[in-house]
């Protein structure tokens, strides 16, 4: 059971990473236009990097 001493912090840390990633996507306005972003992948324009969002 001693392994729990490592495993619990590790799992919490991984979960926390996921949470941080989610908060980043939120701040980067990635939920403003989910359908448009899905379709933009198919377009030839802005192939090298995503078109920057408005503002």
Q: Does 23 bind another protein (CB under 8 A)?
A: yes
Gap between the Cα atoms of 48 and 55, Å rounded: 21
* Token reading at 21: 């990633």
Q: Closest distance between another protein and the C-beta of residue 14, in Å?
A: 9
By the rule CB under 8 A, 26 interacts with another protein: yes
The two structure tokens encoding residue 51: 């078109």
Task: Provide the minimum distance between the beta carbon of 1 and another protein in the complex, in angstroms, as a whole number.
Answer: 7
Quote the tokens at residue 38. Answer: 């899905």
Interface with another protein by CB under 8 A: which residues?
1, 4, 8, 11-12, 15-16, 18-19, 22-23, 26, 31-36, 39-45, 51, 53-54
């Amino acid at each position: 059971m001693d392994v729990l001493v490592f495993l619990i912090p590790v799992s919490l840390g991984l979960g926390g990473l996921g949470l941080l990633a989610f908060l980043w996507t939120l701040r980067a306005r990635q939920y403003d236009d989910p359908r448009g972003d899905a379709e933009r992948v198919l377009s030839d324009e802005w192939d090298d990097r995503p078109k920057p969002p408005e503002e």
